[in-house]
Structure 1
Amino acid sequence: MDRQEPGRWRYRPRLPSLRLLLMLALLLLFATSGDSDLTQLERIQARGSLMMLTVNGASTYYLGAQGETGFEYDLARRFSEYLGVPLEVITLPDIAELVDTLEKGQGDFIAANLSRTVLRQDRLRFGPRYDSVAPVVVYRRGSRRPDNVAELRDGRLALLAGTSYEPLLKSAAPDLSWEVLDDLSIEDLFEMISNEEIDYTIVDSNILELNRRFFPDIRPAFEIDEAQDLAWATLRRDDDTLAQQMREFFQLAEQDGLLADLRQRHYAHLENYEPVGTYTFQRQIRERLPPLRPYFEQAAQDTGLDWRLLAAVGYQESHWNPDAVSRTGVRGVMMLTLRTARQLGIEDRRDPEQSIQGGARYLKRMIERLPDRIQEPDRTWLALAAYNIGFGHLEDARVLTERLGGNPDRWLDVRDHLPLLTQERWYSQTRFGYARGYEPVDFVENIRTFYDILLWMEGRSHPLLAQQNR
């Protein structure tokens, strides 16, 4: 710009750079000639994003406490980083719509727990196998458990649209009848079973595993077929450039442990889950949480933590019982030791408001003491372990983890080494010595489960929580 006179400016256009002219020429070429000559990978790069088609669900994609998450989403996000473009997520109601949308060119690939079946391979090109799951018949706890497909005739069987289970059923029991329900999620089917609106459905084993904590009434009956491979899918055509990138990515993901890491992050804390725990938890949500919830919310506001996380800690510690006392003398909702309470300025550990405030501040202190380089969610899980076992013992476990080739900043690695603190061979090498290293492992994994349930319930406006908020 050139100065003309006080208070006024005159714009003088600059000549475009050679690079800008080249970019404009390329864009004009694409606009006038179309992109038919570009490979699928080149179109993705020209567009500047990778479009993932999926369905909402605990194993695929959903909004969690820290934002977008889900096994499929986390894996796809790493794939988009591998390609050097951001990920764009498009959610659809069911599997059938995923395939239709892909064929319309409104997405690049499907990542939705899709099994690689012969029938689907007529329409889709599958990437590498990244997991195997078995199709499982699900029924309601307390009702008669079916042992085979023939016994499903005695009840109402419902399936989601677009699944691979119908061909299996037609082959196994040609005279069996069932309903296909459109525009419903698998969670809707689980709720219908819980409410006795239907008797059976069929899901993949990993989906059942993730959802049993939310629906304690659902039970596995039997597997209707052998394990099936899960894989991402693109369109079946001559251009396989995206599928080739998938093959390279999954080979690296297997070699560097990414797949194992994501499986652990999303499934490991469910290994020892017992449905009976959810019954008790939901009963206490109704009976004990309401008077304590304002204290959890205020403590969360004061510390910047999530009230649902604090509530999960309080439940794990005392089942939300303000009068709880352990054999070692810790007491109150957050089970504070006398020493910790004094350090935090807590005068009465039995007072629920003081106890919750103290527990929140203590957890915040553990989070802040960890090295800044540790990211979420590992930071929170490690801090919870320190809350339970003490910061010194956690540091001992982290030292052992690093010494034995693990990552001391990663909860899953530290979790595997915490039990070593019970063995003289290892605790004799540490600063703080012996500790019951199994306890913080169970402590953290239980809290993760309770936290997930509270997040899920609030996200669905579950009556148990919604009524408390009125």
Structure 2
Amino acid sequence: MHSSSSSGSRLSLNSLTFSLPLKALALTVALIPFHTINASKAYQYDAVVNNNKLTVVGVENPSTVFKDGQYLHGFGYDLARNYADSMNVELVFTTVPDDATALKLVDQGKANFAITTTSIQNIESKKLTSFSATCGDLYSLQKNGLNTQLSWVFKHADDPLTQTASGFVCQGKQSGSISQLASFYNRNVVQAESWDSIERDLTKRMPIYKASFQRTAEKYDLDWHFLAAIGYQESYLKPDSISPTGVRGIMMLTNSTAKAMGVSNRTDPAQSIQGGAKYYDLMLSKFEEVPYPDRNWYALVAYNMGPGAVDQIQKRISAQGKDPNNWVNLYSYLDGNKAQNGRYRQAVQYVTRIRSYLEYIKNTPQLVNI
């Protein structure tokens, strides 16, 4: 089994956050008829509040959770992380081998709830209770290539934890946060027929540049797979790449950025990777007010659009009365305005594709072990 808490890290890739306001959470709890609760039952809500910890289990798959070393991200994982944040408790998420194990841990009271893609019949046969992880918003899951059977499973339907979780998820559906989160984890951002050529590209070129990615990533305390994913998005790992706007090299640096990063030859692979990593690290520093792990995505958008553009969007988000340092707000702004602004549309595609490439590289043994 693999477990992870919700604490941030520069290499953690958890991203979107939205929360049920504390007043709304309190109201949801208050509406539960506590006088009808059987006092002999052991409710998970009490355990969560008393221990200040929410324990969730799930099977690693594209819709639930993706394991990146010691860190986790994914639609199901981030949804659980957001629920834990709304309760102001720590999330402990454990990956298990299969759904049967996940359901067993819930039944035994060893997990507060499970996120599964198993059938309702299987859940009910264990005398457990469940609800849709999207409050029935199956379209958001389907159009983004996520499993529409994704559900949260609890031991008791009348447990206050079950009630507050259901309220949280349905509020997320109503506010549009569920749809936004699913959009970020879009499995269709890269067309299925493209993966064969992507694998051929990576198998052919990764061995040539892997050592440079690894050395440079270590220097700046970054994940080399992440740098490689940026490089593939930028140039398909072709050192002689050049765009109509004049950016060039594996990391597609502008002439001015290259000079600022100490790169004298943008088409030299080692120099380009070094310059790209240094510039990305600089973007991380520019958004030091954004907590990890969300800062990774801010830096990536800044790498693509420039830090000044991100600053301007943050000001507009603040003017709307929203937190400018919350990734879901930045992503929602970009996604919501991409039809009117080509740069925003490009930035949305940029971050989602890099996330997709990263997962592919991590999950393809012949690429990792090259």
> Take 1:305 and 1:42, find their aligned partners in 2: how far apart are those partners?
38
**How far apart are 1:352 and its partner, in Å?**
0.6
Maintained 8 Å contact 1:300/1:310 = yes
Task: Give 1:90-109 correspondences, 5 Å limit.
Answer: 91-104=95-108, 106-109=110-113
AA matched with 1:408: P
Determine whether 1:447 maps to 2:354. Answer: yes
> Take 1:321 and 1:292, find their aligned partners in 2: how far apart are those partners?
10
Determine whether 1:129 maps to 2:132. Answer: yes
**How far apart are 1:232 and its partner, in Å?**
1.8
> Take 1:58 and 1:229, find their aligned partners in 2: how far apart are those partners?
11
- Aligned residue in 2 for 1:55: 59
> Take 2:303 and 2:89, find their aligned partners in 1: how far apart are those partners?
39
> Take 2:311 and 2:45, find their aligned partners in 1: how far apart are those partners?
48
- Aligned residue in 1 for 2:75: 71
1:241-262 Cα offsets, whole Å, 9 max, x none, are 53x3221233144336799546
Maintained 8 Å contact 1:110/1:234 = no
Determine whether 1:335 maps to 2:242. Answer: no
Task: Give 1:345-360 correspondences, 5 Å limit.
Answer: 345-360=262-277
> Take 2:176 and 2:253, find their aligned partners in 1: how far apart are those partners?
36
Q: Which runs of 5+ in 1 are unaligned?
A: 1-35, 135-204, 212-226, 424-433
Maintained 8 Å contact 2:206/2:367 = no
1:2-57 Cα offsets, whole Å, 9 max, x none, are xxxxxxxxxxxxxxxxxxxxxxxxxxxxxxxxxx9453348736984655443232
Aligned-residue sequence identity (percent) comes to 28
Maintained 8 Å contact 2:113/2:152 = no
- Aligned residue in 2 for 1:33: none
Maintained 8 Å contact 2:66/2:359 = no
Seen in structure 2, the aligned counterparts of structure 1 residues 43 and 210 have a Cα distance that, compared at 3 Å, is closer
1:54-98 Cα offsets, whole Å, 9 max, x none, are 323233344225613343344445555666765555554333444
Seen in structure 2, the aligned counterparts of structure 1 residues 107 and 245 have a Cα distance that, compared at 3 Å, is closer
1:272-292 Cα offsets, whole Å, 9 max, x none, are 331233222211111111111
> Take 2:276 and 2:216, find their aligned partners in 1: how far apart are those partners?
9
**How far apart are 1:110 and its partner, in Å?**
3.1
- Bigger Rg over Cα: 1
Question: Over aligned residues, Cα RMSD in angstroms?
Answer: 3.6
Among 109, 117, 133, the alignment partner of 1:113 is: 117
- Aligned residue in 2 for 1:209: 145
- Aligned residue in 2 for 1:234: 155
> Take 1:45 and 1:435, find their aligned partners in 2: how far apart are those partners?
45
In the alignment of these two chains, the number of paired residues is: 326
Maintained 8 Å contact 2:107/2:128 = no
Maintained 8 Å contact 1:130/1:231 = yes
Q: TM-score, normalised to structure 2's length?
A: 0.73
**How far apart are 1:315 and its partner, in Å?**
0.9
Determine whether 1:438 maps to 2:355. Answer: no
> Take 1:253 and 1:241, find their aligned partners in 2: how far apart are those partners?
16
Seen in structure 2, the aligned counterparts of structure 1 residues 335 and 114 have a Cα distance that, compared at 3 Å, is same
**How far apart are 1:324 and its partner, in Å?**
1.0
> Take 1:421 and 1:122, find their aligned partners in 2: how far apart are those partners?
45
Secondary structure at 1:111 match in 2: strand
- Aligned residue in 1 for 2:206: 289
Of structures 1 and 2, the one scoring higher in RCO (CA 8 A, sep 6+) is 2
Maintained 8 Å contact 1:116/1:231 = no
- Aligned residue in 1 for 2:240: 323
Seen in structure 2, the aligned counterparts of structure 1 residues 414 and 340 have a Cα distance that, compared at 3 Å, is same
Task: Give 1:140-151 correspondences, 5 Å limit.
Answer: none
1:109-149 Cα offsets, whole Å, 9 max, x none, are 332134434x7435424244333487xxxxxxxxxxxxxxx
> Take 1:267 and 1:352, find their aligned partners in 2: how far apart are those partners?
33
> Take 2:318 and 2:266, find their aligned partners in 1: how far apart are those partners?
37
Among 351, 360, 366, the alignment partner of 1:463 is: 366
**How far apart are 1:386 and its partner, in Å?**
1.5
